[in-house]
Amino acid sequence: MREGTRDGSLNLNAHIRLAIKEDLDALLNLENICFKEETFSRRQLKYLLQKARSMVLVAETEGNIIGSIIILLREHILNARIYSFNVHPEHRRKGIAKLLMDAAFEILKEKGYKKITLEVGVNNQIARNLYQSKGFIVDKKLYNYYTNGDDALHLIRKL
């Protein structure tokens, strides 16, 4: 779908493509590496890949999936929601997240979507900085959003 080479010190080449059912094991592994709490089960990921009204993109390099973004789609209101966003820890801060987001935004715009939302932990400053750099703004604070009691911010971006 899309090739990306970052300039400067970010010399990682990654291919962004739609996920397929054969990616399930790699997506589950990535989920478990990236998150310690509130991870998707195999069954949930399979549903998101095959049956849900969603779009799943993966970042792949040298045959390995190193990042993913799962977006839930709402047809009639043309609203999308980033449901999960993962980049393998060994590949963070190399531009993979930006490549995934740019590819997702491009596809959503082509399909006529008007805005995209997400939730992010108030203490996750690195992710918040990324989302701000991609044009997201804080819509509201969500108290006790996560199972561990942490608060989140609801962010929104026009496409």
Q: Is 11 exposed, middle or buried (0-12, 13-18, 19+ CB in 10 A)?
A: exposed
- Percent of the chain residues past pLDDT 70, beyond the cut: 92
Q: Residue 28: what are its φ and ψ, rounded to 5°?
A: -65, -45
Domain residue ranges of the chain, discontinuous segments joined by +? 2-117
Q: Where residue 6 falls among pLDDT bands split at 50, 70, 90?
A: very low
Q: Which fold has domain 2-117?
A: Aminopeptidase (3.40.630)
The DSSP bridge partners found for residue 141 are 153
On average, the pLDDT of the chain sits at 90
For residue 119, pLDDT over 50 is answered with yes
Are 109 and 159 within 8 A, CB to CB? yes
* pTM flag (> 0.75): yes
What dihedral angle (degrees, nearest 10) is formed by the CA atoms of 110, 114, 120, 126? 60
9 pLDDT higher than 50: no
Contacts of 112 (CB under 8 A, 6+ apart): 78
Instruction: Answer whether residue 36 shows pLDDT above 80.
Output: no
Distances (CA, A) of 109 to 91, 112, 113: 27, 5, 5
* H/E element, 71: strand 64-74
Beta bridge partners of residue 55, listed in sequence order: 71
Q: How large is the average pLDDT for residues 104-111? A: 96
Q: Which residue is listed with tokens 């195999």?
A: 42
pLDDT, residue 5, reads 43
Write down the pLDDT at residue 35.
85
**Coil, strand or helix: which one is 19?**
coil
